[in-house]
Structure 1
């Protein structure tokens, strides 16, 4: 076959494929109702989500940032885990649709209080003094959310509720401790 014939056959096949594609019916349109929001799984070292925030707060409670009401903290989980530890998971959400927010806190402001024992617990550290947590700070863009977690020493087994402090937000009082 000559080069001219190969080009002619290729052009003919492409043209036929184009006609077939154009003659197919369009897929049915979806209804105008918005899809339900996806569940967010709070897992250690999870990447930040940049999806727009449309859902109402979920989890164990929510609080506004003391410097900007468009920044929200949702407490997701407080649970006893192996190693006589307590894991606390939360997310920080910029509910604004148009502005970024600079979020900052002090490490001393990340703790919990066991009201039954009237005792304050700070986050755990490893043998080298590294914090056992994943918390971000800095500029959080409009509609963005960050997942965070920290491990603490567990309260005594008789303690069933704690108060959680996440820097810059009002404390979460009387939060049940999951087993």
Structure 2
């Protein structure tokens, strides 16, 4: 046996049985629920508790990130929608019609994040249109975070079920 065979027997390179995939999934959803629209959520809780300068900082940070998101959506929104749709469709077809496991794994990571990105743009438009006060911003960002966490829980659940199915079916085919 050569060293490559030994490495590939010890470390399974399939997506759903690879520990790095599950670590990446956990880090991705942890980051998505902590950085709500580019604002760290501890800043939201600090603004709610302390008020004053912490609320002003939150309002400034939200304004900057909302303007950034709205600029990106305004300038290249149509191109982004077309490119993301093409990539997600390509991954979906490769993954689920042609049974490419890597494409399935990337699709299960990317599709929910595309939904979160769309919700973030919608929330940014809402904030920009209403010119909210800091206490209203904190409530809205908290609700947005809860929605992101719900999407993350459903995504992790579906990915875990699909990953277990893939691992069990692969194990049955090998043995």
TM over 0.5: no
TM-score by length of 1: 0.24
- Which fold has the larger relative contact order, with Cα–Cα distance below 8 Å and residues 6 or more apart in sequence? 2
TM, length-normalised to structure 2: 0.24
Q: Based on CA coordinates, which of the two structures has the bigger radius of gyration?
A: 1
